[in-house]
Amino acid sequence: MVPITTVHYLVVAAALFVLGVIGVLTRRNVVIVLMSIELILNAVNLNLVAFSRMWGNLHGQMFAIFIVVDAAAEAAAGLGILIAFFRNKETVNVDEIDLLKW
Amino acid sequence: MNPALNSALNPGMTPVATPWFFYVLAGLAVLSGVAVITRRNAVHAALALIVTLLSVAGLYLMLYAPFVAGVQIIVYAGGIMVLFLFVIMLVNIERASKDRRFNRIWPVGLAASCALMALFVSAIVKGSHINDMFRDRGIPLPESSNTQQIADLLYGQAGKMGPYTFAFEIASLLLLVAILGAVIMTKKKI
């Protein structure tokens, strides 16, 4: 078997990223759209850690940790907005959240 | 990565991270990622996302980043996903689970995502074959002192600020703002 190189990790991360983009673009449930954003952030993290390994220093891992912090903040704020919205409109459907289109 | 390097780093030990292990973890991550974006029930999607996060944590371990793997399991799988499950149970999933899953323009989204994947793959192939961009540079760091080295970068050593100490403080401020924002937005009357 071929040894695992950085390129293998890049391909996995690209697949996860594209899956997240598909989820953001096509799903109608806001909760699943937020989960797809988490998928995208994870793909970026995997890339950063793989590059950290490739260069032999720790800066990529530091960035990955800061992105985890950022994902936690984003999830808290996004779900707060979602609950506030659900209280007003009784829906979690993206297609019905169109107030700014008018 | 490089087996010769690994055996030079810890002589007498064969590396645990075999290619077979990588393919299992990667396949698990991608398959449960597909489940995340196709399941009708949001709770099932959240459980599939937990499987993805744990497999990515395994990939971090294969990349000799045990601290990031621990953070991934504790913060993502333990913290953020619990938050998601709470919100799924707070909002009404009965109607959403009977609704259509995908919006009307899903073929456009799928085509755009496939184009994006083609772009990524062509960039990776070009970088690895033509320019040899992704070869290993430098000696990989030993994982036994990984946490200590990350702490040195974050908090600094010998009383001096490290390169990421200021960013660390800003991150704590960001978390404080996020907590305050979540509390204020979910209150009925401010």
CB-based contact B87:A79 (threshold 8 Å):
yes
Query: Is residue B128 included in any domain, yes or no?
Result: no
pLDDT in tens, B87-136: 988 886 666 667 777 888 889 999 999 999 999 999 988 888 877 777 77
Kindly indicate whether the domain formed by A6-91 is annotated with CATH number 1.10.287.3510.
Answer: yes
User: Which chain B residues are within 8 Å of A26, Cβ to Cβ?
Assistant: 37, 102-103, 105-106, 109-110
Structural domain including B21 reads 1-101
What b/e sequence results for A43-59 when a residue is b if at least 16 CB atoms lie within 10 Å of its CB, and e otherwise?
A: bbbbbbbbbbbbeebbe
Burial environment of residue B107 by CB neighbours within 10 A (0 to 12, 13 to 18, 19 or more): exposed
Task: Choose, out of A7, A18, A82, A89, the residue to mutate when testing the contact with B (most B CBs < 10 Å).
Answer: A18
ipTM field: 0.92
DSSP B76: I
Using DSSP, state whether A93 is helix, strand or coil. Answer: strand
Claim to verify: residue B20 and residue B97 sit in the same structural domain: yes
Provide the β-strand partners of residue A27: B102
C-alpha to C-alpha distance for A73 and B171, rounded to whole angstroms: 9
Instruction: Give the residue from B50, B78, B101 where a domain finishes.
Output: B101
For residue range B68-92, list pLDDT tens digits in order: 999 999 999 889 999 999 998 888 6
Find out whether B174 and A73 touch, Cβ atoms under 8 Å: yes
Q: At which of B49, B71, B101 does a domain end?
A: B101
Q: Total domain count for chain B?
A: 2
Q: Please indicate, yes or no, whether residues B150 and B95 belong to a single structural domain of this protein.
A: no
For residue B137, CA distances in Å to A28, B81, B126, B133 come to 44, 36, 19, 10
A-chain residues near B141 (CB < 8 A):
56-58
pTM: 0.88
